[in-house]
């Protein structure tokens, strides 16, 4: 699978530093999980993190804390649950998206459904799966913040530009774009957006996600 469209270095850097809001980070993670190019950018970014950590002025830590930590060395860590994809989804989710409760399917307009991944919070940042039947244009909704899309199945066209499985669309706030699903079949994407989505479809997204 050839990946042609990647997140910007800026987004990967923010992802690497842990400073992206959770919904956005999940969708970036979904891309990085399967992209060697971005994985290298991630490692470069993490190396920068190591440099910044080394150059951080050391802060005094509670001297008694060392003894407390030493006494905890033998306690085993809690084991995390095994992460799986939901069974009623027509694809295996990338690792970054597993382990999250995926909401049930809700129809936005005929041919287009959404399933909540992360509910819209204080800043309206949310993440959801979106499925579009072949040829359907994704509903037009303005958004004040950035919107990130990772293609999981099928293909999207933005104008004449094709986004296939593994490709990533990054749209800054205020950008107008009207992607449509390719003719080959259903297109499923992971989408994260910030800011309050406008218009009728925006209203529905706010209700469902």
Partner 1 sequence: MDTLVQHAIGSPQYINWSRAAANDGCCASMIPSPSRHRVEASVSDLLTPSPDERSRLIAAVAQRRDRACFAALYAYFAPRVKGYLLRLGMPSQLAEELAQETLLTVWRKAELFDPAKATAATWVFTIARNLRIDLARRSRDTPSDDLAQTQTLPSPADDYFAAQRQRRLGEALKTLPEDQAEVLRLSFFDDKPHQEIAARLGIPLGTVKSRVRLAMNRLRAELGDLK
Question: Residues in the site for partner 1, rule: CB under 8 A?
Answer: 8-11, 13-14, 16-22, 25, 29, 32-34, 36, 39-44, 46-54, 56-70, 72-73, 77-81, 95-96, 99-101, 118, 145-146, 172-173, 194
For 207, residues 6+ apart whose C-beta sits below 8 A from its C-beta are none
How near is the Cβ of 86 to partner 1 at its closest, in Å?
A: 14
Tell me which residue of 103, 99, 163, 92 sits closest to 128, measured CA to CA: 103
Shortest gap between Cβ of 7 and partner 1 (angstroms)?
Answer: 10
Closest to partner 1 by CB, 50 or 110: 50
Least distance from C-beta 143 to partner 1, angstroms? 13
**Rounded to whole angstroms, how far apart are CA atoms 134 and 112?**
10
Helix (H/G/I), strand (E/B), else coil: 153: strand
DSSP string spanning 83-137? P---TTSSSPPPGGGTTSPPPPPEEEETTEEEEEEE---TT--EEEEEEE-TTPB
For the record, the structure tokens of 184 come out as: 């080959």
Name which of 81 and 90 has its Cβ closer to partner 1: 81
**C-beta closer to partner 1: residue 72 or 110:** 72
Give the nearest distance from C-beta 190 to partner 1 in angstroms.
16
Q: Considering beta carbons, is residue 72 or 159 the nearer one to partner 1?
A: 72
Least gap, CB of 77 to partner 1 (angstroms): 5
Residue 18: count of CB within 10 angstroms of its CB? 8
Q: Which is nearer to partner 1, 21 or 114 (CB)?
A: 21
Q: Report the chain's terminal Cα–Cα distance, integer Å.
A: 30
């Amino acid at each position: 699978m050839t990946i042609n469209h990647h997140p910007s270095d800026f987004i990967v850097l923010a992802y690497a530093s842990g400073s992206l809001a959770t919904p956005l980070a999940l969708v970036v993670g979904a891309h990085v999980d399967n992209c060697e190019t971005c994985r290298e950018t991630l490692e470069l970014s993490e190396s920068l993190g190591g440099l910044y950590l080394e150059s951080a002025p050391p802060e005094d830590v509670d001297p008694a804390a060392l003894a407390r930590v030493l006494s905890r060395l033998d306690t085993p860590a809690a084991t995390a649950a095994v992460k799986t994809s939901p069974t009623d989804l027509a694809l295996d989710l990338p690792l970054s998206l597993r382990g999250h409760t995926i909401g049930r399917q809700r129809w936005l307009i005929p041919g287009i459904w959404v399933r909540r991944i992360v509910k819209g919070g204080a800043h309206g940042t949310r993440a959801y799966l979106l499925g579009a039947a072949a040829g359907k244009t994704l509903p037009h909704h303005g958004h004040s913040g950035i919107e990130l899309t990772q293609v999981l199945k099928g293909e999207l066209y933005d104008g004449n530009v094709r986004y296939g499985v593994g490709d990533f669309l990054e749209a800054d706030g205020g950008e107008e774009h009207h992607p449509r699903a390719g003719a080959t079949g259903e297109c499923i994407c992971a989408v994260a957006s910030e800011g309050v989505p406008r218009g009728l479809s925006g209203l529905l997204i706010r209700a469902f996600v």
